[in-house]
Amino acid sequence: MGKKGVVLGISAYKQGSAAVLVADGEITAAAREERFSRVMGDSAFPVASVRYVLKEAGVEFGKVDAIVFDDPLPAGESVKARWRKFVFQMRVSWMLKQFGRTKAPLLFPEHLLPCAANAFFPSPFERAAILTINETGTAICVGNKAHLRIIRETGEPHSAAVLYRTFADFLGFGTGGELEGLALYGDTFSAQTQLFKEKITDELVEMKEDGAIVLDMYYFDAAAKPLRINVREWELLFGIPQRARDGALTGGHANFASAACQVLTMIITRLAETVKMLTEESNLVMAGEVLSSCAANNRTIPSKLFKNIWIQPVAGAAGSALGAALAGHHVHLERKRVLVADADRMCYTCLGPEYAEPEIEAVLTRCGARYRHFKTFDELASVVSWDLAGGQVVGWFQGRMEFGVEGLGNRSVLADARNPKIQKALGLKTKHGERFVPFGASVLAEDASRWFPTVAVSPYKTTAFLLHERHRLPEVNPEEDIFTRLYRQRSSVPAVTCVDYSVRVQTVSEESNKKLWTLLNCFKKLTQTGLLANTAFQIGDRPMACTPEDAYNDFLYSELDCLVMGNFLLYHNKQPGIGGKANQVKPSHPQTDSP
């Protein structure tokens, strides 16, 4: 056994494959395969990600103490299920041969263990109740030091996560976050909303008092993997057609979203109450895309139930890779779990590649880019603050890439949240279309209570807080159409304020992200506002920018006004050959396979 207890965690063959390396209990490196292959949601075996995490940690493949693969196959005792699992494990073993020889055991824990480990082991609690909701089922567990104990689990497909995704799919959305954003424009108490809600609870899903649900499979395509809706039956049930991805949004869509979110709120609230009853713990940790949503964790978990709540910011397959690595370290290798006061074990999710100034300069020179280089970061931050205050949208590329989907100041697009035109400009420049969900806000931690009276430490943008009343403006006409209401100035920071005056918040301290904190301070000196709109440096359907080549290419493609990489500043209108192709790294996607 190696001195550091090095464990490689892998998740593949489902959307968002990833690799994570844990050494001596610390999360050393983590990355999603899509960031290297440039294929959004890449489910292939994460060859590039594995190579990256090993290189970043300075570990040879042969020196790894355990390899833990999150098993995507459902449990089963039939001959067919056992044979499929055997073939799958042989295929994974074959894929690993390209990295060299190893004597490390290859482990395939069932999906529940990585999910629970992902929720608990990175948390700041010595012991806590665990609630995980994903498409393979729902689980209630208890974590104590380095041990996990399963209390209750339900299998697929009867999960709130499946319901969450299929609701979004019916409305033509790729993510549940858009479902929740649209729900805010619905009329909660209208007859149509209540009718939708009744049809969901009476026909689509049976809700039990303990939070368990049973989907009526008549309304789903049971043969599809993942489970899909039976479009015709949903349209007959709800009396509205499925919305195309780029289709118009109507009041009916908003009311359906409102009803859907009300049902999800009821399910999660009941589950939280059941968790408390079964575990009697004062701390709660949660993982799962539906639980990472602000509406779920901020409004459905009664404060009287738990003293402290921690939400894992990395969900889905990437979170399973992290959980697999941590489970291998604490459960298989039986290593102790050591908590350090005020330390963020997730490293604020900044666990990906980092590029030095000479590397960035070499890329810019090769691309023929025109740029300005600053000797000090403070001087750069001062100039960029003036650009932001002048209405410029800035691509921000610094330090190690985030592992999660949120831009937290290393791969971000930043703008002045006070500017009433920024909401639309950001949507057109980054998403290539109007976006009805306001962007998240990065705010100085020391100023957060000035903006949000109930704010707590929130480094991941997983929680929404209500804006202070003194920063609000009254709603003019709630009967207006969605985009008219969206662009109404409802606060002093309209680009980040939802129609209910909630804001997704990232609190930024000098410790959590020194460069973003410095920029916010410079912007505050100029404008008396230590807050900026912040979204991920992810343009259109492309994955988050990973390399300087990715950032420069996306900069030109998106028409961002400025790009900052390290201490280099570029302006879009000064680049040669605007509209042409930038030099890119060819997607070096290694040989892949699927189960």
Q: pLDDT tens digits, residue range 47-60?
A: 999 999 999 999 99
Instruction: Report phi then psi at 256, rounded to 5.
Output: -65, -45
Cβ 398 vs Cβ 390: under 8 Å: no
Instruction: Report phi then psi at 28, rounded to 5.
Output: -85, -40
Shared domain check, 379 and 513: yes
pLDDT at 223: 84
User: Which amino acid would we find at residue 6?
Assistant: V
Give residue 197's pLDDT band: very low, low, confident or very high (50, 70, 90). Answer: very high
For 182-202, what is the mean pLDDT?
94
In the chain, the percentage of residues whose pLDDT exceeds 90 is: 72
User: Which amino acid would we find at residue 228?
Assistant: R
For 180-206, what is the mean pLDDT?
93
Which one, of 586, 69, 52, lies nearest residue 317 by Cα?
A: 69
Q: Can you tell me whether residue 416 is helix, strand or coil? A: coil
Shared domain check, 317 and 290: no
The reply to whether 18 falls in a domain is yes
DSSP 122: T
Task: Domain of residue 405: give its range.
Answer: 357-574
Instruction: Report the distance separating Cα 248 and Cα 519, nearest Å.
Output: 38
Shared domain check, 399 and 323: no
List the CATH number of the domain containing 42: 3.30.420.40
To the nearest 10°, the Cα dihedral for 142, 144, 146, 147? Answer: -50
Both tokens of 269, joined, read 């609230």
The reply to whether 119 falls in a domain is no
Shared domain check, 317 and 371: no
Q: Say yes or no to pLDDT of 224 above 70.
A: yes
Cβ 136 vs Cβ 317: under 8 Å: no
Q: Say yes or no to pLDDT of 26 above 70.
A: yes
**Helix or strand run (H / E) with residue 185:** none
List the CATH number of the domain containing 548: 3.90.870.20
| Cα separations in angstroms, 272 against 36, 177, 307, 427 | 38, 21, 13, 35
Give residue 240's pLDDT band: very low, low, confident or very high (50, 70, 90). Answer: very high
Instruction: Report the distance separating Cα 6 and Cα 29, nearest Å.
Output: 12
Shared domain check, 69 and 39: yes
Instruction: Report the distance separating Cα 230 and Cα 39, nearest Å.
Output: 28
Beta bridge partners of 535: 413
Q: Say yes or no to pLDDT of 521 above 50.
A: yes
DSSP 203: I
Q: How do beta strands 66-69 and 106-107 pair? A: parallel
Q: Can you tell me whether residue 180 is helix, strand or coil? A: helix
Q: Say yes or no to pLDDT of 370 above 70.
A: yes
425-451 per-position pLDDT tens digit: 888 888 766 667 789 999 999 999 999
Q: Say yes or no to pLDDT of 589 above 90.
A: no
**Helix or strand run (H / E) with residue 229:** strand 228-229
Shared domain check, 79 and 192: no
Beta bridge partners of 565: 397, 568
For 481-503, what is the mean pLDDT?
86
Shared domain check, 168 and 290: yes
Q: Say yes or no to pLDDT of 575 above 50.
A: yes
Instruction: Report the distance separating Cα 143 and Cα 206, nearest Å.
Output: 30
The reply to whether 122 falls in a domain is no
Instruction: Report the distance separating Cα 439 and Cα 414, nearest Å.
Output: 10
Shared domain check, 225 and 290: yes
The reply to whether 35 falls in a domain is yes
Shared domain check, 161 and 73: no
Q: Say yes or no to pLDDT of 581 above 70.
A: no
Instruction: Report the distance separating Cα 409 and Cα 401, nearest Å.
Output: 9
Shared domain check, 451 and 534: yes
Instruction: Please count the helices (runs of H) and the strands (runs of E) in the chain.
Output: 18, 23
116-167 per-position pLDDT tens digit: 999 999 999 999 999 999 888 899 999 999 999 999 998 888 999 999 999 9
Which one, of 272, 305, 304, lies nearest residue 288 by Cα?
A: 272
Please, what sign has the CA dihedral across residues 314, 315, 320, 321? negative
Higher-pLDDT residue of 515, 485: 515
The reply to whether 146 falls in a domain is no
- Sequence-distant (6+) residues with CB within 8 A of 116 are 130, 132, 139, 141, 143, 148, 150, 287, 323
Q: How do beta strands 147-155 and 531-536 pair? A: unpaired
The reply to whether 123 falls in a domain is no
Shared domain check, 160 and 103: no
Counted domains in the chain: 3
pLDDT at 111: 87
The reply to whether 324 falls in a domain is yes
Instruction: Report phi then psi at 507, rounded to 5.
Output: -85, 130
Mean pLDDT over each residue of the chain, to the nearest integer: 90
The reply to whether 410 falls in a domain is yes
Cβ 525 vs Cβ 540: under 8 Å: no
With vertex at residue 21, the alpha carbon angle to CA 116 and CA 28, rounded to the nearest 5 degrees, is 105
Instruction: Report the distance separating Cα 134 and Cα 138, nearest Å.
Output: 6
pTM to 2 decimals?
Answer: 0.92
Instruction: Report phi then psi at 446, rounded to 5.
Output: -75, -15
Instruction: Report phi then psi at 558, rounded to 5.
Output: -90, -15
pLDDT at 433: 63
Shared domain check, 319 and 457: no
pLDDT at 578: 59
- Sequence-distant (6+) residues with CB within 8 A of 251 are 185, 186, 187, 481
Q: Say yes or no to pLDDT of 297 above 60.
A: no
pLDDT at 591: 41
Q: How do beta strands 213-215 and 26-32 pair? A: unpaired
For 520-548, what is the mean pLDDT?
96
Which one, of 426, 423, 415, 427, lies nearest residue 391 by Cα?
A: 415
Q: How do beta strands 568-571 and 205-207 pair? A: unpaired
Which one, of 53, 72, 46, 47, lies nearest residue 6 by Cα?
A: 53
Instruction: Report phi then psi at 78, rounded to 5.
Output: -70, 160
In the chain, the percentage of residues whose pLDDT exceeds 70 is: 92
Q: How do beta strands 127-134 and 283-287 pair? A: parallel
